[in-house]
Chains A and B, each alone.
Chain A
Amino acid sequence: MRRSPSLPLLVPLLLPLLLIVPAAAHADDFPTSGRVEYVLECMQKHDGKYEYLYKCSCVVDRIARSLRYDDYVAMSVALRNQGLAGERGGEFRDEVSVRNMASKYKEIEAGANKACAVPQR
C-alpha cells in the first residue's frame, strides 16, 4: 500500500470561475458536441421544425461569442436547476451566486433568442 505524500490543498481555481466575465474576443470555444446539444434541445422545444436548425444554431453561436464554454455550462446548469424540487433544489435556489449565474444566463439567452427570431419557450 503506497501512500501519497502530504500535499497542500490544490490551489483553488474557482474564485475566478465564479466571477463570470463575458469573454469578448477569445470565446467561441464551444466544442461541436456542445453546440449540437444546444441546437437539438432548442429544436425539440419548437416541435422539431426544420427552420429551427438554423435559428437555434444562430442562438448558440451568439451565446458562444458571449461566454466561455465552461461558464456557459455552469450558468445554464444553474438556470436549469432553479426548479429542482425539494431540498436538493435549495443548492441552486438559495445560493446567491448560483441564482446570479442563472439570471445572467437567462438574460444572455433571451437576447440571443430575440436576435435570431426564436420565440422564448
Chain B
Amino acid sequence: MCTRIKATLAVAAGSLFLAMSGLSPALAQAAAAAPYQVSDGNKVDPHTLSGWRTWRALACERCHGAAQEGMVGPSLVNSLKVLSKDQFKDTVLKGRIDKGMPNFDGSKMVVDNIDNLYAYLKGRSDGAIQPGRLQEIGK
C-alpha cells in the first residue's frame, strides 16, 4: 500500500517535473518506475506489447470493451486505479466465476504474460497508452 502511494506520488511528481521541463514521455515513465514504457501513445516496450497481444488474443474486449471502458464487465480503466498488482493477478488467474469473469490460469499465454498484461492495462488506465493497435518502440 505504502509502496503504491509512493509510486503514485513519484509518477505525479515526475510527470509534473517533466511536463515543465518538456522531456519526452518515454523518459518520464522510466524515471517514475511505471511498469510500462510508452512513446507517442501507441509505441511501447516489448513486454507491454506482449501484454497487449495477450489482451487481444484472449478476446477480453468482448466483455470489457475495445478501449477497456467496460461493457458487460467493468471498466478496467477504473479497476486498474484501485487494484494492486497482486489483486489484479489474482482476479485474472482465478477469475470471479459468479460474476462472469473466467479464470485464465489454464491459459499458458496469460500465465506467462500476466505481468505484461498488467503493464499494458495500467498504461491504459493511466491514460498513457492509447486504445487500439500498438507497435514496439523503435520499430
Contact = CB atoms under 8 A, between A and B. Distances in A.
B66 A86 contact: no
Interface string B66-80: 100011100000000
A89 B63 CA distance: 11
Contacts of B96: none
Nearest to A93: B66
A85 B66 contact: no
Q: A interface, how many residues as a size bin?
A: under 10
Nearest to B72: A85
A1 to B, nearest CB: 45
B90 to A, nearest CB: 24
Interface in B40-65: 62-63, 65
A86 B72 CA distance: 9
Interface in A89-115: 89, 93
Nearest to A89: B71
Contacts of A87: 62
A100 B65 CA distance: 18
Contacts of B63: 85
Nearest to B63: A85
A83 interface: yes
Contacts of A84: 71
B118 to A, nearest CB: 23
Interface of A: 83-87, 89, 93
Given A83-B71, A86-B62, A89-B71, 9 more contacts: A83-B65, A83-B70, A84-B71, A85-B62, A85-B63, A85-B71, A85-B72, A87-B62, A93-B66
Interface of B: 62-63, 65-66, 70-72
6 contacts: A83-B70, A85-B62, A85-B63, A85-B72, A86-B62, A93-B66
Identify the 9 closest CB pairs spanning chains A and B, nearest first.
A85-B72, A85-B71, A83-B71, A86-B62, A85-B62, A85-B63, A89-B71, A93-B66, A84-B71
